[in-house]
Structure 1
């Protein structure tokens, strides 16, 4: 089991030419998830990205936003699996490259997985409450934001592991992004990852 997220330049080199004797390697089980090019460049607002390669992967993006005199936002995430069986890939790669999300802004939640039996989630809860009665000093005009997550994970892969695993964000990606960025990036099998963010704001009189 391994989770890896890193920033690197040119981390993925060109694949070597396989000789005739390496033909069996070409028949291996390969999984690759990749976000590249100008994907989401300059995008703004609520951005949700789920990318998976392999078997039995779970992903989710959830947002709750409430605005009002009395505002409450609540997010509750629960993922569950039982008695899953799958073959772990010989090579698993998860890469974010190019100009992905360059110059973007807002709330960006990314779940990227390559492998088998991985569970990922993102949760954002925002509440903005306007002050109802200026003379009031009680809690009636306050905002409340709650975010919780629970996972039950029972993936079984029979002891098999990937021979090569790469999880990377290249240096050209995400440049100039402004706002809230959530990233779960997994290459492997049987991993659980998650992000939560809860914010409560009370506007002034």
Structure 2
């Protein structure tokens, strides 16, 4: 019993010496708010085809990978996307890291879209719209043969992130990652708060007349 009392007193003295109270919130604040998102090892190595990845660490992050494909006599493909963050409250991390390392996507080929965020209230969008018309370019109008992407991504007024005056933000892609990749690669990589990024590919093609 005496030993338990001594341990309790030592714990209380330790808290007093650091100026931190015994509450759970204060203890969490003492540890700090750190965010880290990471793709590593052999993830997606040698992948073939269509790949979409959303990876986030933190609060209030919005991510989307959207594709639209159409084929036919009068092919049309379109994407309309709106990402909004409104009236939310969150704290920004002291440290934010977004990392792609190892042999991620090495030797892969196809259509790959990756959103990777670390932090608070970031918005990311990858969009691909492609249309293939079978009539031939001389037999269809620009209006009927179309691929379009309409998109917006942003942090709206009222979002408070409490960005601190100190801390670190870092993004990185290792030298060994994505080596030998062939195809279309869309990558949004963000560390911090209140960032808006996007990659948009719009493609309209027509078969040659036979």
Q: Which range, TM-score by smaller chain?
A: 0.7 to 0.9
Alignment map for 1:93-108 (pairs within 5 Å): 93-108=97-112
Alignment map for 1:3-82 (pairs within 5 Å): 27-82=31-86
TM value normalised by structure 1: 0.81
Q: Deviations over 1:101-135 (max 9, x none)?
A: 11111111110000011110110001111126x9x
CA change 1:102–1:26 in 2 (3 A) is: farther
Aligned 8 A contact 1:70 1:140 in 2: no
TM value normalised by structure 2: 0.79
Partner of 1:200: 204
- Would you identify which runs of 4 or more consecutive aligned residues in structure 1 move more than 6 Å? none
Partner of 2:145: 143
Give the RMSD, CA atoms, in angstroms.
Answer: 2.3
The aligned length equals: 181
Decide which of 186, 190, 194 is 1:186's aligned counterpart: 190
CA change 1:103–1:28 in 2 (3 A) is: same
Q: Deviations over 1:14-73 (max 9, x none)?
A: xxxxxxx9xx99822111000011111111111101000001100000000111121100
Larger Rg: 2
Q: Deviations over 1:72-110 (max 9, x none)?
A: 000111011111211111111000011111111111111
Structure 1 position 159, deviation (Å): 4.1
Aligned 8 A contact 1:46 1:106 in 2: yes
Decide which of 118, 129, 138 is 1:125's aligned counterpart: 129
CA change 1:59–1:140 in 2 (3 A) is: closer
User: Where does structure 1 lack aligned partners over 5 or more consecutive residues?
Assistant: 1-20
Structure 1 position 161, deviation (Å): 5.0
Partner of 1:13: none
